Structure 1
Amino acid sequence: MPKYEIVYFCEVFFLSLIIAFVVDSFIIRYAQKSGLLLDRDSSIKPQKMHYGDIPRAGGIGIFLALCFIIFFGLKYFNLLLFIPICLVFLSGVLEDIKNSLSPKQRLLLQVLASISAIYFFDCVITDIGLSLPYYIGVIFSVFCIVGIINAINIIDGFNGLAGGFSILALLSITFVSYIVGDIKIFYICIGLIGGILGFLLLNFPKGRIFLGDGGAYLVGFILAFLLILLTQNKDNGVSPWYGICIMIYPIFEVLFSIYRKKIIRSMSAMEPDSIHFHMLIYKRITRSNYKTSILIWILNIPFIFLPILFFDNTFMLIAISIVFIFIYLFIYFRIIKFAGIKLL
């Protein structure tokens, strides 16, 4: 890589970091003075794991950093990328600000964001180890993008958990995109890592600001978008299972949560509960907000970075994913206690 490009990417990283940090610092001060944008200590939520009134709009800083990334790198992505990212960000940030969107309205905006990404960037999954007809691939792509969007939101339960996991995943994508020479994906990863890190400086370990639905949905969308572009480009030679492998934690968390709620507990899959994997780690092992995030980061590191070595080897990627699922279930069933409910 030429020296001028290295300098360029460093500029993108640091400017993105500064934008997110400055914007989110302002939001913290504004929220505490105005009483707006706060996740109240008095709120009653099964998934609540914090104390105090904390701003939940940290995603605004990441969104503005991403806008800068797009403007600064128009030779990689055109302005049409604003359409899906604005739609998906609105599906969360409106909820963060006003608590005014129903789940169906949020889902609609996320589906529209997915469709616009597919339309403008041909972000379609047609290879999953076997070929899919294009129209089936479009439907499957919408399902996968919306799934990842909400999966990142589900694991956003502790200081730095979703943000730190997303940085690890983006680092893995950065290495693979560099290896295969996909510089446009490399560019977005470098910039977004900077934006998320700027937020994390305020979020971890003290939790002065939260990612919020807007930030979690936005980061989830970009991860899904980049992975589809990377794995579905035949010139890259990246296995479609690479994306599944590095995202296996949030993907399996969603699937297992649906099974647990619908089959075991006979409740709505959309209804929140307090027995997600990260919550059990907190209650039974760490008893610490930030230590829970660190422990889960460490658990995920092998399953995010090993796939770099096997990015084109579907068999190995499937094997790595299966190993993670066994470890997840082993830990979960060792520490869970359902009152009067049989798990198996």
Structure 2
Amino acid sequence: MQSLGCEVAALNTVHFSNHTGYKQVKGTKASAQEISDLYQGLRQSYLTDFDVLLTGYAPSATAVEAVGEIGLDLQRRADKKPGSFFWVLDPVMGDQGRLYVNEDVVPAYKKIIHHADLILPNQFEAELLSGIKITSLSTLAEAIKAIHKTYNIPHIIVTSVQLATLSHSSSTTAPPSTLTVVGSTTRSDGTPRLFRIDVPALDCFFSGTGDMFAALTVARLREAVHAAGPALRGTRSWVSPDEVEATDLPLARATEKALASMHSVLEKTMEARDAELRTAAAAAAEMGEEPPSSDEERAKREHLRRTKAVEVRLVRNVRFLRDPVVEFKAQEWSE
């Protein structure tokens, strides 16, 4: 967000030595009181003139509630100026069919997400919020419609769907090595305007891509709304008029640019990973590194080496954040 010109005040919900992909971590999680205290510190110095709030991982149900109170306070302050504040909420709860937060975090999110303007669930989180198991394109559409209706959310992006694992007609088939992002902005009658973007999947596991997508989406959505003109900027939740087609929505334009940046950065990360692993192997051989004492230690050392090698190379590839080349275009999708 900062590289794209946003002035950011970050309230960290964890203070960790490294991300959890390493499978070992030292540090602390912020309590709900600590999160609230930080925000109150901003308030007392009149530093809360934000036009966008992005919320992500919260380590407990009480922390989710504290984050919700921050969002609500900022909304109240902007209530007399429609469009002057926009809340993007990433309901970080789990992935690949399992929770990685306590179970009480799920109802805590369900209580606050109807206040948000845009949510960014992955496929598993969309199932948790909608109560619908996503097994096909039609059930994916039903889940999105249910979230719109149940929580009165104007904008949704389901951030990762493996269409190859769903049952669908050949007319909508994407190659097995494809990730699909599905978005929607409601019309005035509450019906969704659905779009999808298919992106080649990279054969690598990265940590932090959800945070990266959320941050890029914030900057690019704000940009797209401003480009659409003052009328949309002054509209509550930045909901485009009904005549705007799904592929022309600011949400679709923002998603195209966010995915373009991510794909380029992750490709460069894979190149750097391969080079680093070759260098590490050569250095170990040259220095006569003592071999691990057990298979378990060998596996652990290899995991740590590979995880470090695939740390996302953001700063050195900042040009792709600022000037993405959009190759993957939004397609209108009617279920």
**TM-score bracket relative to the smaller structure:** 0.3 to 0.5
Judging by fraction of residues, say which structure has more strand: 2
Judging by fraction of residues, say which structure has more helix: 1
